[in-house]
């Protein structure tokens, strides 16, 4: 059975926002992409293998000002490494919903893909389904790549929002073309704000920002967790209901549920909005209808999730779908947390049932919030991890909630006053694999090479490897060469200091070093890199 490129823990489902946990490092790094007040988009990341849990960044990309952004890590890979490309959908000031992607190695460059849609207004949410791979010796067999899906919800200029999907059927690459549309995206639906389900929500149709959760609710399997659901059947794509959580200009937070509805024999499958609700804040005098502001966030967490046959359950019991967790900024400052039990496969409650107000935490006035369930924590369930920001903030505030006592900690401000050239390193294992994929081996003992690749302060190997991979992206050498020989030729070039950062590597000198390594090994006299580096 294929494996899904999705973590074993936590068993939460994919969600969309400005914060994700990527596959970088052993623990998985936190990655954040937000609009930068001075223009462009800012990428921050936290090395969760570092005991200090220090944040790095920002690295800036894009031009002009942006209203909001959302980020995922996809199954596309510019380099043969465990980390996938980052993908971003950001709404520009002019209303274009731009699509950006960052390669997963080399120089970690950001590139712009085709615009998703024009006439957008507000903060989007982008989520990734995960892709199915066959297990390989190292991580995944990238040649046995199954399709994945991107979902994005984008507020519309003039009210409402649109949901788009991109089915990624092609082999891994910078971006796929699973749809017949020019930009690869397929418009699925706009919300039925004036239909029968609209009576269940406050009639605020002007959304300032959206949260998105791909859930396992009402899925066709008997599984409750996302990874288990996707791996339990032979179908390439299987999903539960999709929840969109929107904040309005007037201060309402509404949740809408989109479902695959299955008809009788021969009737096939239809897709439609089946339910909706608006959250209200309980007070001693009743319920406050519109206490919110800005973009909320929604997560299907694994608190209370139970697969059939797990310890503590009884044979024949239905799977239990865990909790929904919603956090939204408050008009009066701080953040408001709500949750509900999703019930089980045989008794999933209506969307307006079972909500509880959890807590108010923080004090500042925020415009945007994003939340995930991470892997940290002492219990079997991971902590909730959250960032919140104002539109003019050069960074964000970080919060987390310990599952052991359910208390929110924070804020922990993360800020950057100027663009910082921060290199996000590959693991040594990933570097060796990526180099081998382009035809670069080594002639020194492997233990020595590993030490050099792990030491960017005192050796040139990490910097030269990074630029070499970027130079050979999409190509492979006709015959193998050795990295240590390339470094030797580079460092013996007249007047060239040994580089410690990628920006200090002279690409022209590096190309000559590659050619010298190749010619000295094979007795040739090639003068152009294109003669020995062939497209893959």
Examine the pLDDT at 489 and tell me if it is beyond 60: yes
Distance CA 314, CA 195 (A): 41
CA neighbours within 13 Å on the CB side: how many for 216? Answer: 31
- When pLDDT is averaged across residues 2-12 and rounded to a whole number, the result is 85
Q: What's the per-residue H, E or C state across 27-63?
A: CCCEEEEEECCCCCEEEEEECCCCCCCCEEEEEEECC
| Of the ranges 169-173, 397-401, 493-497, the best mean pLDDT one | 397-401
Query: pLDDT: is 281 or 536 the higher one?
Result: 281
Q: Where does the pLDDT of residue 177 fall: very low under 50, low under 70, confident under 90, or very high at 90 and above?
A: very low
Examine the pLDDT at 117 and tell me if it is beyond 60: yes
Examine the pLDDT at 243 and tell me if it is beyond 50: yes
Q: What count of other Cβ atoms lies within 10 Å of the Cβ of residue 144?
A: 13
What pLDDT score was predicted for residue 265?
45
**pLDDT > 90: what percent of the chain?**
56
Q: What count of other Cβ atoms lies within 10 Å of the Cβ of residue 419?
A: 15
Continuous segment of H or E residues that includes residue 434: helix 428-437
Q: Which residues contact 65 (CB under 8 A, 6 or more apart)?
A: 35, 39, 92, 93
- When pLDDT is averaged across residues 421-435 and rounded to a whole number, the result is 68
Examine the pLDDT at 486 and tell me if it is beyond 70: yes
What pLDDT score was predicted for residue 300?
97
Distance CA 354, CA 381 (A): 21
Residue 501's Cβ-count burial label (10 Å; 0-12, 13-18, 19+) is middle
* Tens digit of each residue's pLDDT (9 = 90 or more) over 217-233: 999 888 999 999 988 88
Angle between the N-to-C axes of helices 461-471 and 483-491, in degrees from 0 to 180, rounded to the nearest 10: 110
Continuous segment of H or E residues that includes residue 179: none
- When pLDDT is averaged across residues 508-533 and rounded to a whole number, the result is 93
What pLDDT score was predicted for residue 173?
38
Examine the pLDDT at 391 and tell me if it is beyond 60: yes
Which range is least confidently modeled, 1-15, 137-151, 398-412, 415-429? 415-429
Q: Where does the pLDDT of residue 63 fall: very low under 50, low under 70, confident under 90, or very high at 90 and above?
A: confident
Distance CA 279, CA 286 (A): 13
Q: Where does the pLDDT of residue 307 fall: very low under 50, low under 70, confident under 90, or very high at 90 and above?
A: confident
**Considering only CA atoms, which of 112, 45, 44, 101 is closest in space to residue 76?**
101
Give the mean pLDDT of the chain: 86
List C-alpha distances in Å: 197 to 276, 398, 411: 6, 35, 37
Residue that is written with structure tokens 């570097």 in the block: 431
CA neighbours within 13 Å on the CB side: how many for 50? Answer: 13
**Domains identified in the chain and CATH numbers:** 3-415 (2.120.10.70), 428-535 (no CATH)
Query: pLDDT: is 108 or 417 the higher one?
Result: 108
Distance CA 500, CA 463 (A): 6
Q: Where does the pLDDT of residue 439 fall: very low under 50, low under 70, confident under 90, or very high at 90 and above?
A: very high
Helix, coil or strand: residue 430: helix
What pLDDT score was predicted for residue 425?
57
Residue 469's Cβ-count burial label (10 Å; 0-12, 13-18, 19+) is buried
| Of the ranges 178-192, 240-254, 444-458, the best mean pLDDT one | 240-254
Q: Where does the pLDDT of residue 1 fall: very low under 50, low under 70, confident under 90, or very high at 90 and above?
A: low
List C-alpha distances in Å: 342 to 169, 222, 301, 310, 373: 32, 15, 10, 18, 16
**Considering only CA atoms, which of 192, 173, 187, 215 is closest in space to residue 97?**
187
Q: Which residues contact 143 (CB under 8 A, 6 or more apart)?
A: none
List C-alpha distances in Å: 233 to 222, 228, 347: 10, 9, 22
Residue pair 463/425 in contact (Cβ under 8 Å)? The answer is: no
* Tens digit of each residue's pLDDT (9 = 90 or more) over 257-273: 998 755 444 445 667 88
């Amino acid at each position: 059975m294929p494996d899904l490129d999705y973590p074993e823990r936590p068993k939460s489902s994919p969600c969309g926002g400005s914060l994700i946990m990527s596959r970088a490092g052993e623990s998985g790094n936190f990655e954040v992409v937000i609009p930068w007040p001075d223009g462009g988009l800012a990428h921050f990341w936290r090395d969760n293998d570092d005991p200090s849990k220090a944040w790095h960044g920002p690295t800036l990309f894009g031009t002009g000002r942006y209203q909001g952004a959302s980020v995922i890590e996809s199954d596309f890979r510019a380099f043969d490494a465990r980390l996938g490309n980052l993908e971003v959908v950001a709404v520009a000031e002019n209303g274009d919903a731009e699509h950006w992607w960052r390669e997963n190695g080399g120089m970690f460059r950001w590139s712009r893909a085709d615009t998703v849609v024009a006439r957008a207004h507000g903060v989007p949410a982008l989520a990734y389904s995960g892709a199915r791979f066959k297990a390989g010796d190292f991580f995944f067999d990238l040649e046995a790549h199954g399709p994945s899906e991107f979902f994005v919800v984008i507020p519309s200029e003039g009210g409402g929002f649109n949901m788009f999907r991109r089915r990624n059927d092609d082999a891994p690459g910078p971006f796929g073309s699973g749809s017949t549309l020019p930009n690869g995206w397929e418009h699925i639906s706009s919300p039925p704000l004036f239909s029968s389900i609209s009576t269940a929500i406050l009639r605020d149709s002007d959304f300032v920002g959206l949260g998105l959760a791909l859930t396992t609710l009402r899925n066709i399997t008997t599984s409750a967790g996302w990874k288990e659901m996707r791996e339990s059947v032979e179908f390439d794509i299987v999903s539960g209901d999709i929840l969109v959580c929107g904040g309005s200009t007037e201060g309402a937070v509404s949740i809408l549920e989109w479902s695959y509805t299955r008809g009788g024999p021969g009737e096939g499958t239809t897709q439609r909005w089946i339910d909706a609700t608006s959250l209200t804040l309980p007070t001693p005098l009743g319920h406050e209808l519109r206490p919110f502001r800005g973009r909320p966030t929604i997560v299907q967490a694994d608190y209370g999730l139970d697969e059939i046959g797990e310890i503590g359950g009884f044979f024949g019991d239905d799977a239990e779908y865990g909790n929904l967790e919603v956090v939204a900024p408050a008009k009066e400052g701080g953040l408001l947390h709500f949750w509900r039990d999703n019930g089980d496969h045989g008794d999933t409650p209506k969307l307006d049932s079972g909500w509880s107000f959890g807590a108010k935490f923080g004090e500042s006035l925020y415009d945007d919030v994003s939340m995930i369930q991470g892997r940290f924590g002492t219990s079997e369930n991971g902590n909730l991890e959250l960032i919140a920001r104002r539109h003019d903030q050069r960074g964000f505030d970080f919060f987390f909630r310990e599952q052991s006592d359910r208390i929110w900690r924070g804020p922990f401000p993360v800020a950057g006053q100027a663009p910082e050239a921060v290199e996000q390193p590959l693991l040594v294992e990933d570097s060796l694999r990526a180099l081998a994929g382009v035809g670069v081996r080594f002639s020194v003992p492997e233990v020595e090479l590993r030490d050099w690749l792990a030491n960017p302060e005192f050796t040139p190997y990490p910097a030269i490897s990074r630029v070499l991979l970027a130079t050979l992206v999409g190509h492979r050498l006709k015959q193998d060469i050795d990295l240590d020989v390339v470094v030797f030729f580079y460092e013996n070039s007249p007047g060239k200091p040994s580089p410690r950062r990628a920006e200090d590597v002279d690409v022209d000198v590096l190309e000559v070093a590659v050619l010298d390594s190749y010619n000295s090994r094979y007795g040739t006299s090639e003068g152009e890199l294109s003669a020995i580096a062939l497209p893959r």
